[in-house]
Amino acid sequence: MNSSTALPLFGEDTEQDQADIQPPPVRLGMAAAAARLVPYRDTQFEDGQPRALLVVDCPFCDHQHIHAAGLAAAPRVCPRRSRCAGRPAGTYYFPEVTS
Protein backbone atom coordinates (compact mmCIF):
# COMPACT_ATOMS: atom_id res chain seq x y z
CA MET A 1 0.00 0.00 0.00
CA ASN A 2 1.44 3.36 -0.87
CA SER A 3 1.01 6.42 1.33
CA SER A 4 -1.24 8.24 -1.16
CA THR A 5 -4.06 5.70 -0.60
CA ALA A 6 -3.64 5.26 3.17
CA LEU A 7 -6.47 6.54 5.35
CA PRO A 8 -5.82 8.21 8.67
CA LEU A 9 -6.16 5.74 11.51
CA PHE A 10 -8.21 7.97 13.83
CA GLY A 11 -9.55 10.52 11.39
CA GLU A 12 -8.46 14.10 11.12
CA ASP A 13 -8.41 16.50 14.06
CA THR A 14 -10.97 19.24 13.79
CA GLU A 15 -11.55 22.36 15.84
CA GLN A 16 -14.59 20.66 17.42
CA ASP A 17 -12.40 17.75 18.57
CA GLN A 18 -10.06 20.21 20.26
CA ALA A 19 -13.02 21.94 21.98
CA ASP A 20 -14.29 18.59 23.33
CA ILE A 21 -11.05 17.86 25.18
CA GLN A 22 -11.67 18.47 28.88
CA PRO A 23 -8.95 19.48 31.33
CA PRO A 24 -8.09 16.98 34.06
CA PRO A 25 -10.33 17.12 37.17
CA VAL A 26 -9.43 19.68 39.79
CA ARG A 27 -7.86 18.29 42.93
CA LEU A 28 -10.38 19.03 45.63
CA GLY A 29 -7.98 18.34 48.48
CA MET A 30 -9.10 17.24 51.91
CA ALA A 31 -12.04 18.54 53.95
CA ALA A 32 -13.59 17.77 57.32
CA ALA A 33 -16.96 16.01 57.31
CA ALA A 34 -19.63 15.49 59.95
CA ALA A 35 -20.05 11.85 60.99
CA ARG A 36 -22.46 10.00 63.26
CA LEU A 37 -23.05 6.45 64.46
CA VAL A 38 -26.28 4.68 63.57
CA PRO A 39 -26.96 1.39 65.40
CA TYR A 40 -28.78 -1.43 63.63
CA ARG A 41 -29.48 -5.11 64.13
CA ASP A 42 -27.88 -7.33 61.50
CA THR A 43 -29.66 -10.67 61.09
CA GLN A 44 -26.66 -12.09 59.25
CA PHE A 45 -24.81 -12.52 62.55
CA GLU A 46 -26.11 -15.11 65.00
CA ASP A 47 -24.71 -13.40 68.11
CA GLY A 48 -27.63 -10.91 68.15
CA GLN A 49 -25.37 -8.00 69.07
CA PRO A 50 -26.31 -4.65 67.52
CA ARG A 51 -23.89 -3.34 64.90
CA ALA A 52 -23.10 0.25 63.99
CA LEU A 53 -22.74 2.19 60.77
CA LEU A 54 -20.74 5.37 60.44
CA VAL A 55 -22.73 7.82 58.32
CA VAL A 56 -20.68 10.68 56.88
CA ASP A 57 -22.08 13.86 55.31
CA CYS A 58 -19.75 14.31 52.35
CA PRO A 59 -18.54 17.89 51.84
CA PHE A 60 -17.91 17.30 48.12
CA CYS A 61 -21.03 15.67 46.69
CA ASP A 62 -23.70 16.57 49.28
CA HIS A 63 -24.57 12.89 49.79
CA GLN A 64 -24.04 10.54 52.70
CA HIS A 65 -21.38 7.85 52.64
CA ILE A 66 -21.77 4.81 54.89
CA HIS A 67 -18.94 2.86 56.51
CA ALA A 68 -19.18 -0.26 58.65
CA ALA A 69 -18.16 0.53 62.24
CA GLY A 70 -18.32 -2.92 63.87
CA LEU A 71 -20.19 -3.63 67.09
CA ALA A 72 -22.39 -0.85 68.48
CA ALA A 73 -20.99 -1.49 71.98
CA ALA A 74 -17.41 -0.80 70.76
CA PRO A 75 -17.57 0.96 67.38
CA ARG A 76 -14.48 1.65 65.31
CA VAL A 77 -14.48 5.42 64.90
CA CYS A 78 -10.76 5.96 64.69
CA PRO A 79 -9.77 8.86 62.45
CA ARG A 80 -10.11 7.73 58.85
CA ARG A 81 -9.67 9.24 55.43
CA SER A 82 -11.90 8.26 52.55
CA ARG A 83 -12.35 9.34 48.97
CA CYS A 84 -15.69 10.63 47.84
CA ALA A 85 -17.33 8.14 45.49
CA GLY A 86 -19.14 10.87 43.55
CA ARG A 87 -16.12 13.14 43.16
CA PRO A 88 -12.99 10.98 43.48
CA ALA A 89 -10.70 14.01 43.51
CA GLY A 90 -11.90 14.86 47.03
CA THR A 91 -10.83 13.18 50.26
CA TYR A 92 -12.77 13.69 53.47
CA TYR A 93 -12.02 12.91 57.07
CA PHE A 94 -14.14 13.09 60.19
CA PRO A 95 -12.42 14.60 63.21
CA GLU A 96 -15.44 14.04 65.47
CA VAL A 97 -18.20 11.42 65.54
CA THR A 98 -21.58 11.98 67.22
CA SER A 99 -24.04 9.37 68.37
pLDDT tens figures, 49-99: 899 999 999 888 888 989 889 999 999 877 667 888 777 778 888 888 887
Asked if residue 45 belongs to a domain, the reply is yes
- The tally of domains found in the chain comes to 1
pLDDT in tens, 5-57: 655 555 666 665 555 666 555 567 888 889 999 999 988 877 888 999 999 99
Asked if residue 40 belongs to a domain, the reply is yes
Write out the residue range of the structural domain in which residue 71 sits: 28-98
Are 67 and 56 in contact by the 8 Å Cβ rule? The answer is: yes
Asked if residue 16 belongs to a domain, the reply is no
Asked if residue 23 belongs to a domain, the reply is no
Asked if residue 78 belongs to a domain, the reply is yes
Read out DSSP for 21-85?
A: PPPPPPP-EEEE-EEEEEEE--TTSTT-PPEEEEEEE-TTTSSEEEEEEEETTS------EEE-S
Asked if residue 15 belongs to a domain, the reply is no
